[in-house]
Structure 1
Amino acid sequence: MNFNDSTYYMEHPFHDTPISMHPVEIRNNQCQKHAHSFYELSYVTSGQGTLSIDDSCIPITRGDLLFIPTDTRHVFQTTLNQSVTLMNCLVEKHILSGPQAIGDRMIYDDIDELTQPFRTLGNGFKVTENKKEFGKIMYSLHLELQCKESGYRYRLYLHLMDLLTRIRHAEPSDLQSAQGDLIDHIQLAVNYISSHYNESAILTRLCERFAISPRHFQRTFKQVTGLTLTQMIQNKRIQRSCELLSETDWSVQTIAREVGIQDMKYFYRIFKEKCGMTPKEFRQPQGS
């Protein structure tokens, strides 16, 4: 897997089991953005921070469980002088494909149905803990790997399937995906444009507000709204121009500046494109 930025591709040596547990403390943004070929389930045991995953940002706090797919760029971050402690469960890719040999085909089918969404997921997500169930399972996984008593690999697998089952059964309000967050951001962006359409650098301000790259934001904006950001801003500006042409006796130049357009040639061009007539023709009473 190749990335065009400074993403570090992490390797992890799985020794005698395809499931590995690692307590991690992150302080002062010490981690580098990275990706890996295994799945990662991270349980927040203390502190708060953010998970930056691809071009989205998810706030995290104690009790949250994060699922990170394979080959997905991500990094956990904290604010200055703050820390967040994680219990990381690393799972080799093949483990979610079900046991290699199993006598009961119906059991295999159940496991395949349970794990299928996790295998095909394109975005990471967060689950808010309910009744401390996730924490108990994560600590059970950790304890099994510490003690390694007879049959521990089988119990590790059962604990993992239990965890995935509880994630699948989580209430919709408890699930927060990176993509879902971004769609919410788009709605907030549309509201922002309605109030700030006459300002400059709208894209820059929105990307700073939501901590997302301009390219990813514009692509998702088009997918969600059916319009480019520029088209929506233009529509709002021309809509307001029409209102001012009808309600005031302001000059066309004054109206153009009021809606945030300084270039009069540009204003006349997009007004004609949107309305099919010039501002002067629009202002003339019908039949005159």
Structure 2
Amino acid sequence: MGGFPVLTADYLFDRNSPLQMLLSEETLTSVCHQYDFMVVAYVYEGEGIHYIAQDKIRVEPGDLFVIPPGVTHVFQPLDFTGSRPLRILNVLLKREVFDIPPELTGSLSEADLARLAFFRKQTSWSGYKDKAMELTDLFNNLQKTYSNQTSTSLPAMYSLLCQLFSSIDPHMQVPFHEEPQMENDPFHDVILFMLNHFNQRISLQEISRYISISSRHFQRLFKYKTGKSFIQMLQEIRMKYSCVFLAFTDMRIQNIALEVGIGDMKYFYRLFREYSGMTPASYRHWQQYHYHSILEGMIYSARHSAR
């Protein structure tokens, strides 16, 4: 994957803390993206597929991923209908979190300091299967510390962060180990193809050949599975990418339209207004003050941890 939006710490972190926690609810058309910071993503609820770098991984509750800056990824729920949501608990870590405050150096063990230094240098993703979901309590405590942050809570935050890294470090794997399982529905691959080629001209004939069925049969199956036509889904994907580019870049609106594969500005404005209820300029202005609604409302909760 390449050429996808980069979600930046300057926008996503709402306070001076180098740590942020978000519980996101993923959709079929969640956009492929990168970060300029590290993310520990923990599958809290539901089943899905994780497309990360060049890998496609079936995920379930307890699966954890350490995602360094610059690694492209997206989660996708296994269920097409939205009745079984896929929720991911994300621990966002600014680069500065690895710069240990001098007042804490003496309270961390040499092993903790070495482990933090190790994770800081990671450039490839890694994974861990917490089948018993034993890390849930640790994430709950980390969320409480984050939510009730005071000048005296920094040691507790670092203690919990070190516990997290200590728990997953011995078991991290690349590639991520998976037990044998059934093949995924090929329409997940179709949607991934659309997410990867959203800025190109994709014909119905081309996309139906992608899974070796007739265009007519493809249209019928696609609508049956997703509740949307192929064109409706493609337009939705392009509008979601447009929202992210508006939120995270200073690109001109005309350039964003071209970036998502739409050369007709009147058509772009009409689609965007139908999708978001506002003009692109109004959306960009609104996002400056509503960062919790980034990524088409995927954020499920920014203040409450896993139950």
Instruction: Note the aligned Cα RMSD (angstroms).
Output: 2.9
- What amino acid sits opposite 1:21 in the alignment? M
2:109 pairs with 1:112: no
Q: Which protein has greater RCO, CA pairs closer than 8 Å, 6+ apart?
A: 2
Cα deviation per residue 1:178-220 (whole Å; 9 max; x = unaligned)? 4x669x9xxxxxxxxxxxxxxxxxxxxxxx8xx99xxxxxxxx
CA–CA separation in structure 2 for the residues paired with 1:118 and 1:148: 24
Match of 1:138 in 2: 139
Amino acid at match of 1:135: T
Which residue does 2:160 correspond to in 1? 159
Seq. identity, %: 19
**How far did 1:116 drift?**
3.0
TM-aligned CA deviation for residue 161 of structure 1: 0.8
Partner of 1:189: none
- Give 3-state SS (helix, strand or coil) of 2:142's partner: helix
Q: Per residue, is there more helix in 1 or in 2?
A: 1
Q: Could you say which residue in structure 2 is the equivalent of 1:7? A: 4
Counterpart for residue 63 of structure 1: 62
Distance in 2, Cα, partners of 1:92 & 1:98: 12
- Deviations for 1:92-128, whole angstroms, at most 9, x for unmatched residues? 1121243345563x94743331123322223212211
Listed as ranges, the gaps of 5+ residues in structure 1 are 185-207, 213-288
> 1:88 — aligned with what?
90
Match of 1:177 among 165, 174, 178: 174
1:74 maps to amino acid:
H
Please show how residues 183-222 of structure 1 align to structure 2 within 5 Å. none
Counterpart contact for 1:19–1:91, Cα < 8 Å: yes
C-alpha contact (below 8 Å) 2:22/2:91 kept by paired residues? yes
Instruction: Give the SS at the match of 1:33.
Output: coil
Determine the C-alpha separation between the residues in 2 that align with 1:22 and 1:9: 17
Q: How many equivalent residue pairs?
A: 176
In structure 2, what is the equivalent of residue 127 of structure 1? 128
Q: Distance in 1 between matches of 2:105 and 2:64?
A: 33
- 1:42 is matched with 41
Q: What's the TM-score, normalizing by structure 1?
A: 0.54
Change (3 A) 1:5 1:21: same
Distance in 1 between residues matched to 2:147 and 2:112, nearest whole Å: 26
Secondary structure in structure 1 of the residue aligned to 2:46: strand
Question: What amino acid does structure 1 have at the position aligned with 2:100?
Answer: G
Contact 2:63–2:131 (Cα < 8 Å) also in 1: no
Contact 2:13–2:20, Cα closer than 8 Å, also in 1 = no
User: Cα distance 1:21–1:159, how it changes in 2: closer, same or farther (>3 A)?
Assistant: same
In structure 2, what is the Cα distance between the partners aligned to 1:168 and 1:35? Answer: 23
**1:56 shift after superposition:** 1.1
Task: Please tell me whether Structure 1 or Structure 2 has the larger radius of gyration of its CA atoms.
Answer: 1
Seen in structure 2, the aligned counterparts of structure 1 residues 107 and 21 have a Cα distance that, compared at 3 Å, is: closer
- Please say if residues 98 and 111 of structure 1, whose CA atoms lie closer than 8 Å, have aligned partners that are also in contact: no
Q: Helix, strand or coil for the counterpart of 1:177?
A: coil
